[in-house]
């Protein structure tokens, strides 16, 4: 058995919430640079330069990269040989998220009820997805997910006969209809298979695919590459100003499904990529 302290989880989540909101990863800065090099539309190039500069200033001053500091979404993988000392794991996560948003002066963006809409004042509750795995490791993938991009996401229960052409058409339509709303350049997470609720989760998980040990499938890699090329021909461009850099990446996750179904979901993330994996 591995024993992990409750307070260790609280403090790690708190620090990570602040870090992902204020400190742009090297990966994100590289994506801006690649876009800046590729763009020959001067306005779009300038927008990317400004986005990069914004991220650099945020890091220097430890202020959020964007005012929408998002919903905290967490994917937990809990080893069967893990014991949390000092409390319940969900309580540790709630406490860490709360302290991170409070101590980091991050905007509190959650309302207690979708109709009466009172702000909870501490960005709680987070959205937690839990999977039990063998072993003595606890891993937590944390995302701060902005609403501008989340609102442009879509799901469709397609007929199996629509196949890959139908899937590509749906992804292209979803991104085209989204236009500048999700703050491009975007990352496009695509879920294919499972069922209605499962495919939405696959699309969200696809946005952080690199954190999971998913064997590479050359067929999927090719579809991701083709889709990225097609999406970047839509001329949406950085923040909707046109150009070649509408999409940073496309990531697909697939699962088995019913013989009569072809569920597809598209979950969009804005240019502000705010993810981190914690391993205990
Ligand atoms: S979609 Fe992203 S960049 Fe746009 S406002 Fe929301 S968090 Fe900020």
**Are 254 and 213 in a shared domain?**
yes
Q: From atom 7 of ligand 1, which residue's Cα is the shortest distance away? A: 146
Question: Is 184's C-beta closer than 6 angstroms to any atom of ligand 1?
Answer: no
Residue 213, both tokens = 């040990």
**Are 138 and 227 in a shared domain?**
no
**Are 233 and 188 in a shared domain?**
yes
Q: What length is written for the chain?
A: 280
**Are 134 and 173 in a shared domain?**
no
For a ligand 1 pocket test, name from 22, 32, 66, 106 the mutation site with the most ligand atoms within 8 angstroms of its C-beta. 66
Assign 241 to helix, strand or coil.
coil
**Are 152 and 177 in a shared domain?**
yes
**Are 138 and 257 in a shared domain?**
no
Digit-coded pLDDT (tens) for 144-194: 999 999 999 999 999 999 999 999 999 999 999 999 999 999 999 999 999
Atom of ligand 1 at shortest range from CA of 67: 8
Question: Is 51's C-beta closer than 6 angstroms to any atom of ligand 1?
Answer: no
At residue 226, the pLDDT reads: 97
**Are 160 and 129 in a shared domain?**
no
Tell me which residue has tokens 């959205």: 127
Total number of domains constituting the chain: 2
**Are 136 and 154 in a shared domain?**
no
Q: Does 69 reside within a domain? A: yes
Q: Does 121 reside within a domain? A: yes
Q: Does 173 reside within a domain? A: yes
Structural domain harbouring 128? 2-23+62-145
CB contact set of 203 (below 8 Å; sequence gap of 6+): 153, 155, 189, 190, 191, 253, 265, 266, 267
**Are 125 and 229 in a shared domain?**
no
> Euclidean distance between the first and final Cα of the chain, in Å?
13
**Are 239 and 181 in a shared domain?**
yes
State the distance from the centre of ligand 1 to the C-alpha of 153, rounded, in angstroms.
14
**Are 7 and 109 in a shared domain?**
yes
Digit-coded pLDDT (tens) for 80-117: 999 999 999 999 999 999 999 999 999 999 999 999 99
Q: Does the predicted model carry a pTM greater than 0.85?
A: yes
Assign 156 to helix, strand or coil.
strand
Q: Which of 127, 145, 163 is the last residue of a domain?
A: 145
State the distance from the centre of ligand 1 to the C-alpha of 165, rounded, in angstroms.
30
Digit-coded pLDDT (tens) for 217-245: 999 999 999 999 999 999 999 999 999 99
Q: Does 40 reside within a domain? A: no
CA 160 to chain centroid, in Å, comes to 27
Atom of ligand 1 at shortest range from CA of 145: 7
**Are 133 and 197 in a shared domain?**
no
Question: Is 167's C-beta closer than 6 angstroms to any atom of ligand 1?
Answer: no
């Amino acid at each position: 058995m591995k024993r992990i302290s409750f307070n260790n989880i609280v403090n790690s989540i708190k620090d990570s919430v602040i870090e992902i909101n204020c400190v742009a990863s090297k990966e994100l800065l590289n994506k801006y640079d690649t876009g800046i090099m590729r763009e020959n539309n001067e306005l779009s190039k300038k927008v990317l330069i400004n986005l990069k500069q914004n991220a650099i200033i945020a890091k220097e001053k430890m202020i959020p990269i964007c005012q929408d500091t998002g919903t905290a979404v967490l994917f937990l993988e809990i080893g069967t040989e893990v014991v949390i000392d000092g409390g319940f794991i969900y309580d540790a996560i709630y406490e860490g998220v709360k302290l991170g948003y409070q101590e980091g002066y991050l905007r509190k963006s959650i309302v207690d009820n979708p109709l009466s809409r009172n702000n909870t004042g501490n960005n709680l509750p987070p959205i937690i997805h839990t999977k039990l795995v063998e072993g003595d490791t606890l891993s937590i993938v944390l995302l701060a997910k902005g609403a501008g991009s989340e609102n442009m996401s879509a799901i469709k229960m397609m007929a199996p006969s629509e196949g890959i052409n139908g899937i590509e058409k749906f992804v292209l339509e979803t991104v085209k209809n989204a236009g500048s709303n999700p703050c491009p350049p975007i990352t496009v997470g695509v879920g294919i298979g499972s069922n209605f609720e499962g495919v939405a989760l696959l699309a969200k998980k696809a946005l952080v695919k690199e954190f999971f040990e998913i064997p590479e499938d050359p067929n999927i890699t090719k579809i991701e590459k083709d889709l990225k090329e097609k999406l970047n021909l839509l001329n949406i461009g950085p923040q909707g100003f046109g150009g070649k850099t509408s999409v940073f990446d496309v990531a697909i996750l697939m699962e088995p499904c019913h013989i009569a179904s072809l569920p597809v979901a598209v979950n969009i993330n804005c240019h502000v990529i705010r993810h981190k994996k914690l391993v205990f």
